[in-house]
Amino acid sequence: MHHFQVTKPVQPSEYISITLVLSRLLERHIIKSYIYPTLHQPPPPGLCFSDQFAFRPTGSTTAALIALLHTDCSELSTNSYMQVCALDFSKAFNTVRHATQMEKMVHLPIPDQVYNWIKDFFHGHSHCTKFAGSISELTDILASVI
């Protein structure tokens, strides 16, 4: 049996940083082992990934630009002009409601225990703000990245 001697008290912030590292490692494993492989398959009925470039193993800004350029060139081959409206959704994931995300994920061919782990991961988180000695009420986090 090993005995450990603590030389200084462990601060809560040290627990948080360790938890974040372990959580990120587990998250990366789940994504690479279960989520990415499902995105390589044809999507289930009702889901379309053809215009999805972010958060995909083969997606990138370059792939999105190539697809846009291909679409533009195709349109210009039959039309003398066209209009393009470009929007930056770089923070769009921060507005995705967890319930909506889970409704779509339920259709992916991932094991039930992985789906349940992801659902539990997004459930039951809350937030409060402390400013100038005052603390706000807890508010449930229903969207965004935890």
DSSP H or E run through 129:
none
pLDDT, one tens digit per residue, over 86-132 is 776 666 666 778 888 888 888 888 899 988 988 888 888 788 888 88
Whole-Å CA distances, 145 to 11, 94, 96, 110, 119: 25, 6, 9, 21, 13
- Whether 4 shows a pLDDT value over 80: the answer reads no
Is 72 within 8 Å of 84 (Cβ atoms)? Answer: yes
Q: How many CB atoms lie within 10 A of CB 122?
A: 19
- Phi, psi angles (nearest 5°) of residue 60: -165, 170
